[in-house]
Structure 1
Amino acid sequence: MMNFNEFIEVIKSKVEVKLGDNHLVECKQVLKNNGVTYHALHIRKEGNNTSPTIYLEPFYNIYLNQGADRVNNNLINEITKLYTENIDSPPYMNEVWKFTDYEFAKNKIMYKLINTQQNRELLKKVPNIPYLDLSIVFYLYFGADDNEQYTAMVYNTHKEIWGVDSEIIYHHAMANTQNAFPASIRSLQQIMQEFAQLANLEDFSDNKILEPPIYVLSNTKRVNGAGVLLYANILEGFSEKRGCDLIILPSSTHEVLLIPADNDVDFQELQAMVKDINITEVPAEDRLSDHVYLYERNTNTIYIAA
């Protein structure tokens, strides 16, 4: 069987043959969150500005599971099908040129939280603001359909073209993100009950109470929801309602868990649990932090507890 690099070269060659000479087929590495790198085909038809990105790791897994020595033509057909389904330019492409004007772009800028240590190389290239062991970074949000969101990371080159500093970008991103992605706090109990109903789990009882109660903080889209930690009055209002400080467990970049704090909490034990879950359950690209945070309602402050 082929190793991954050999697989990539075979796929690239076969796709080139299938699509013909009027298509440029390139293989590139795509850097994602936390230094995770994917390998992708970029395919562009002559005279077309759109270049769909097709990640090859899932196809390599299919190839391995098939146990074949050669690449099945069905794989090539699936890849070219993906290309033809995504060849049309997304609606926002008609306005790309406008994003060199900050007055136009500023209403599309959002922010998200990422881990500082795991994204050292990326942070050299993008405007960012440190926050605890995390960093606030920015992206342009063009919209979404049923399948995905259309976004683009904001790089230092954007900031230079716009002629603004990171604080100004942050000011607009904060307002935009809260408006586009409202906060959501739901009890884990409720989420488990809804899942049980959907899965027809008859043995799940509504009377099973989680102690201590755990709440899931995210946004209504469940994408980059950890950034809700920075929304105005969210933690302050929830902690006042609960009458206590809040333990914050960084579940992923998309959500965090809130637990009412008490005097008996063992933060070192919680941190060990967070580390273990990150390693065993959370995809590397979605990991936020191995630390445990505490929100102190008297000072309206989040700090690293362990």
Structure 2
Amino acid sequence: MNYQDFLSTIITKLKEHFDDTVSLELQTVTKNNGTLLDALIIMNPDINISPTIFLNPYYHRYLSGITMEDICDDILKTYEAHRPSESIDITFFTDFEQVKERIIFKLVSYEKNKELLEKVPYFRFLDFAIIFNCLLNADSEDYATILIYNSHLNYWGVTANTLFSYAKHNTPLLLPYQLNNMADLLKDMLPDDADSEALQPMYILSNSGKVNGATCILYDGLLSQIAERLKSDFILLPSSIHEVILVPVDQCEELCAFSSMVTEVNETQLTDEEILSDHAYYYERSKGVLAM
């Protein structure tokens, strides 16, 4: 069964589980890095929002031998687990006074998002772009945002600088950072006789929601605080848009090797929309500067 037939079959089978008042629609959604995904939207007439269920991964599961019945069951379970119980009043989005306390920023690749950047306010940072969202829900299971476009700025009568000012204040408060020692996370996975203390020190930096957590590197003064705590320069590995890995080092001679590691992880472990960068960065404690 080819992919288009797979999508049609999914819709046909799922419709059997709903009455005629519920609509099932397929929408093509542009994700990070220009990745296009097919999303299933199941709309109840009494509720104005619905969880977005991406079907592309399910096709890969079908090709690996998972039955269509099991796939449909999983989609229905996902829908039930995330189905909202009531509508959301988004009329607040027309009033900047109600929006401004929810404005956050997000870090993405500049090169991989040039088409999107023609439509949204952004700022350059190294080889990244800083874009802006309105945060609706910070729960990692139901994380929800509205992307802010240039048209929204025109409607509100505000500038990109205004967005940045609010995002700089709001994002650390709404999505506080978390720094974890990787050795602590690996303890339960290592053999009993393994010495976790012998591992090269590495730290995972993300936010409380574990979504778009790489943005924490923008938090005012945070990298400097971490460097002082570690009493070391560090290499920053952009492991995905959701987190970065910090590796304390004495000098940046190892940067090329770490960049190769980032490239390999991007090619073998991440989906296209999860990639943030193809190389490593170096934070110099004495200068308080993150560099490519």
TMscore range, shorter length: 0.7 to 0.9
Contact 1:50 1:89 in 2 (8 A): no
Unmatched tracts of structure 1, length 5 or more: none
**1:1-306 correspondence runs (5 A):** 2-16=1-15, 18-46=17-45, 48-66=47-65, 71-72=68-69, 75-76=71-72, 78-80=74-76, 82-83=78-79, 86-89=82-85, 93-94=88-89, 96-145=90-139, 147-193=141-187, 196=188, 199=189, 201-206=191-196, 208-211=197-200, 213-263=201-251, 265-304=253-292
Conservation of the 8 A alpha-carbon contact between 1:40 and 1:53: yes
User: Normalising to structure 1: TM-score of the pair?
Assistant: 0.84
Amino acid paired to 2:154: E
Aligned residues with identical type, % of pairs: 35
- How far apart, CA to CA, are the structure 1 residues paired with 2:48 and 2:159? 30
Change (3 A) 1:6 1:99: same
Cα shift readout 1:129-183 (whole Å, capped 9, x = no counterpart): 1111101111111224572212222222222222111111111111111112222
Structure 1 residues 171 and 21: alpha-carbon distance in aligned structure 2, compared to 1, 3 A threshold? same
Identify if the C-alpha distance between structure 1 residues 267 and 99 changes in structure 2 by more than 3 Å, giving closer, same or farther.
same
SS at match of 2:276: coil
CA distance, structure 1, for counterparts of residue 120 and residue 18 of structure 2: 36
Structure 1 contact 294–303 (Cα < 8 Å) conserved: yes
C-alpha change, 1:281 and 1:81, in structure 2 (3 Å) is: closer
Q: Which amino acid aligns with 2:182?
A: L
Letter in 2 for 1:276: E
The question of whether the paired residues in 1 share the 8 Å contact of 2:47 and 2:86 is answered with: no
2:59 partner amino acid = Y
Structure 2 segments unaligned to the other structure (5+ residues): none
When the two chains are superposed, the root-mean-square deviation of aligned CA atoms in Å is 2.6
Residue 29 of structure 1 and its aligned partner are, at CA, apart by 1.0
The amino acid of 1:290's aligned partner reads D
1: CA distance, partners of 2:98 / 2:215: 23
- How far apart, CA to CA, are the structure 1 residues paired with 2:203 and 2:130? 23
Q: Which amino acid aligns with 1:7?
A: F
Shift of 1:24: 3.0
Q: TM-score with structure 2 length normalisation?
A: 0.88
Structure (1 or 2) with the larger CA radius of gyration: 1
Q: CA deviation at 1:241?
A: 3.7
Report the AA paired with residue 240 of structure 2. Answer: S
Measure, in 2, the Cα distance between the counterparts of 1:237 and 1:67: 48
- For residues 198-249 of structure 1, the C-alpha deviation after alignment (integer angstroms, 9 at most, x for no partner) is x58423334x4223x2222222332222111111222222323444432212
